Amino acid sequence: MKRKVMGKLLSLLLLLIATAGSAQDASKPRFPRFKMLAFYSETVEPPHVDFAHEAVAFFKDLTIGNGFVFDATSNMSDMNAEKLTGYDVVMMLNDVPRGEKQRQALEHYMKNGGAWWGFHVAAYNDRHTGWPWFLELLGGGVFWRNSWPAIPAKLTVDDPAHPVAKALPENFIAPSNEWYQWKPSPRENPKVKVLVSLSPENYPLGLKDIVPDGDLPVVWTNTDYRMIYFNMGHCRGAFHDATQNHLFINALRWLAEGDNQWQ
């Protein structure tokens, strides 16, 4: 009798080992599904630093249970080929690469299939920027004007069929933000897909600085690259809204998808 039980236990153990082995062989390792590296600065405009701190906490929390790796650095010299090679997604929370070497590292990374996620001021560029490739990545929009102070605004989902817009309502009120408008509007570029934009019902938008009218894309991709830009990220509270958080998580899944098979 005792031997019989031992025998059963042994076969169960063997079965478990075999199952674990075959599961491992059949698919990629479940951890990490992907690795993301966020760059931010501690020395920029204080509301942009506040946003970066909340963003780091938000994305770090999403790694619970070892789903993916989220690293953050405030050292922009980490923007180099060697460091970037290990990551599937590069996130710019409130800053941009400085100097030729860092700029070239990002360009090389993106031209070789890397993914870029930029927030708010990370896409700021004007006639002094002098980085034509970056303008190309963004879809050609140069900073034109902004609303002030940071206030909530009604957004419209432009492309409900896109994976990033999955299950979103047609409209939602986004948390406080400084809303940038671009010239020309990125929408004029046929390679750009605008996913979310400011509803014209908000106009005139602002109290001190007013955006009176015009097209104001908020979230878009350039289909030549694995990139997404979010004009969100001015101050605290960007992660306090369930709808907007849902949008962030959709974007994270879409950007990181690459070879991943989400089950």
Binding site for Zn ion (CB under 5 A): 178, 234
Q: Residue 115 contacts by C-beta under 8 Å, 6 or more apart in sequence?
A: 88, 89, 90, 226, 227, 255, 256, 258
Q: Tell me the β-bridge partners of 80.
A: none
Rounded Cα gap, residues 26 and 67, in angstroms: 18
Residue type at position 196: V
Nearer to Zn ion, 54 or 178 (CB): 178
The amino acid occupying position 179 is W
Task: Assess contact for 228 and 219: CB atoms under 8 A.
Answer: yes
Minimum distance of Zn ion from residue 202's CB (angstroms): 17
Tokens of residue 239, six digits: 């992660």
Task: Find the shortest distance in angstroms from Cβ 47 to Zn ion.
Answer: 6
DSSP assignment, residue 133?
Answer: H
Task: Give the residue with the Cβ less far from Zn ion, 52 or 157.
Answer: 52
- At its nearest, how many Å lie between Zn ion and the CB of residue 85? 31
Alpha-carbon Rg for the chain, nearest whole angstrom, is 22
The nearer residue to Zn ion, 84 or 216, going by C-beta atoms, is 216
Taking the least distance from each CB to Zn ion, the nearer of 58 and 62 is 58
Rounded least distance, CB 148 to Zn ion, Å: 9
Closer residue to Zn ion, CB minimum distance, 177 or 250: 177
We find the least distance from the C-beta atom of residue 246 to Zn ion, in angstroms, to be: 23
